[in-house]
Structure 1
Amino acid sequence: SEIVAESGHTFEWTADTTGVVPYFCNPHKGQGMKAALAVGSDLPRQDTGGGGQTGPAVADSAKTLGIATLIAMVSTLVLAFFFLKYGGYE
């Protein structure tokens, strides 16, 4: 099949045999997103639970940077308020 970079596209495939067929999408294979397709009605089924991430996918370093940036911005606003209210030119 042709590789498509935009979202919203679908891919169709018709199985010519029964059984379990391994499947993966090239852009997502490196992230461990693989599957197995069960073709037929008399196959045993097993729920694997997905095994994906359960929490947010934001790195701890990004959270720390975001919090530090927020503190710096709030500190700047507080200092500006006090300089304008209590300090300044006479």
Structure 2
Amino acid sequence: MRIGIAADHGGFELKEQLTAALKADGHEVVDFGDCRLDTNDDYPDFVVPLARAVAHGDVDRGVAICGSGVGACVVANKVPGVRACLIHETFS
């Protein structure tokens, strides 16, 4: 599966860990950034391109990460054709 992933500084470390785990499971991972830890970045800069890629079928699934996850979810849902939800544990 081709999975897109994006995060700002609030989720950068988790993004890096998830990327490694997904690749180890045999998935192709497309990283939409940020590509370095930058405390001045902002999640819409990375989540919007990810959401557009999901909507256009360029990736099969997308994972967007920010500090709480709420902002990334709200921004992703503004892209036509995207239905994002907040998941924070295994039963969400």
* The two structures share one fold, judged by TM-score above 0.5: no
Higher RCO, Cα 8 Å, sep 6+: 2
TM-score (norm 2): 0.21
- The structure with the larger Rg is 1
